[in-house]
Amino acid sequence: MTGRVQGKVALVTGAGRGQGRSHVVRLTEEGARVIAVDLPAAASKDVSRCSPYPMATEADLAETVRMVTAAGGEAVGLYADVRDESELTAAVATGVDRFGRLDIVCANAGITGFTGKAWELSRENWQAVIDIDLTGTWQTVKATAPIMIDQRRGSIVITASTMGLKGTANLAGYVAAKHGVIGLMRALAHELAPFSVRVNAVAPTSVGTDMIFNDAVYRLFRPDLADPAKEDTVRAFTEHNMLPVPWAEARDISEAVLWLASDEARYVHGVVLPVDAGQLAK
């Protein structure tokens, strides 16, 4: 099947790499034009202080756009920090001016922050995760929902996590933020339904991106090893899932995002869709 979002315009935050890049590519493969948003250079360096892995760079976002263009799709890369309401609003306005409408919003930008017991986390680390993952999602919707309300149509897909439906140790900020975005999605579903704007969330298991492929996560999953590597964590990751796989690929999540964004899901509203290899059922 092709053209599932043909003629639609989407906005994706956190589009420089990982799940965000995958969402941009998949949506354009199915006919959407995409406003791809990620951090400007200064903000990227700032956020990286609160993350065990570096943030996407401006070059990463440019590469996302290049990939789309090389494949015959259309995307524009814009730099905005989801923590900065004015930057985000300006990026949305620029993208909508270019493409003339907005049909799909993927509020995807997020970080895990540093790992550690809740009482050991710094205020800076806690605040960065809440500001990006939760407040940034709210500000993304705040900047885009009025456009969809005026159009009387649209689909908002929020990136949550299985950690938004259960808990785990050593990621208190991330768990709290992802529980928060699911609550936000449920409130938005009530508020936007009268305008035919659908709101849903995806809840992935671990996904094979830099968010889990870093030394801090390797040590979290294999505290028994002094210097664990990716291959040392495969069994530990797999034990979290019911299906015998350690992690999903970004494209697996993009397929769910595409479906929720498309007219195939026109009556799907207010749900959390797990893409979790059975993790939540285990």
Asked, for residue 271, whether it belongs to a domain, the answer is yes
Instruction: List the CATH number of the domain containing 61.
Output: 3.40.50.720
C-alpha 174, offset from chain centre: 13
Q: Does the annotation mark 174 as catalytic? A: yes
Asked, for residue 228, whether it belongs to a domain, the answer is no
Asked, for residue 218, whether it belongs to a domain, the answer is no
Closest Cα partner for 47 from 105, 120, 131?
Answer: 131
Total-model pTM: 0.96
Cα dihedral sign, 265-243-106-133 = positive
Q: What total number of domains does the chain contain? A: 1
Q: pLDDT (tens digit, 0 to 9) for every residue of the chain, 282 residues total?
A: 479 999 999 999 999 999 999 999 999 999 999 999 999 988 888 898 999 999 999 999 999 999 999 999 999 999 999 999 999 999 999 999 999 999 999 999 999 999 999 999 999 999 999 999 999 999 999 999 999 999 999 999 999 999 999 999 999 999 999 999 999 999 999 999 999 999 999 999 999 999 999 999 999 999 999 999 999 999 999 999 999 999 999 999 999 999 999 999 999 999 999 999 999 999
What lies within 8 Å, CB to CB, of 264 at 6+ separation is 4
pLDDT at site 4: 97
Asked, for residue 152, whether it belongs to a domain, the answer is yes
Please give the structure tokens belonging to residue 2: 């092709």
Sheet (strand 9-13) strand order:
74-79, 33-38, 9-13, 104-107, 154-159, 197-204, 272-275
> Can you give the three-state secondary structure of the chain, one letter per residue?
CCCCCCCCEEEEECCCCHHHHHHHHHHHHCCCEEEEEECCHHHHHHHHCCCCCCCCCHHHHHHHHHHHHHCCCEEEEEECCCCCHHHHHHHHHHHHHHHCCCCEEEECCCCCCCCECHHHCCHHHHHHHHHHHHHHHHHHHHHHHHHHHHHCCEEEEEECCHHHCCCCCCEHHHHHHHHHHHHHHHHHHHHHHHHCEEEEEEEECCECCCCCCCHHHHHHHCCCCCCCCHHHHHHHHHCCCCCCCCCECHHHHHHHHHHHHCHHHCCCCCCEEEECCCHHHC
Asked, for residue 204, whether it belongs to a domain, the answer is yes
* Domain of 64, in residue numbers: 9-208+250-281
Q: Which of 79, 174, 218, 267 is catalytic?
A: 174
Q: How many CA atoms lie within 13 A of 213 on its CB side?
A: 12
Asked, for residue 189, whether it belongs to a domain, the answer is yes
Residue 20 CA to residue 105 CA, distance in Å, equals 12
Asked, for residue 221, whether it belongs to a domain, the answer is no
Q: Do residues 107 and 97 lie in contact, with contact meaning Cβ atoms separated by under 8 Å? A: no
Residue 65 CA to residue 16 CA, distance in Å, equals 9
Asked, for residue 117, whether it belongs to a domain, the answer is yes
Closest Cα partner for 165 from 46, 281, 3, 15?
Answer: 281
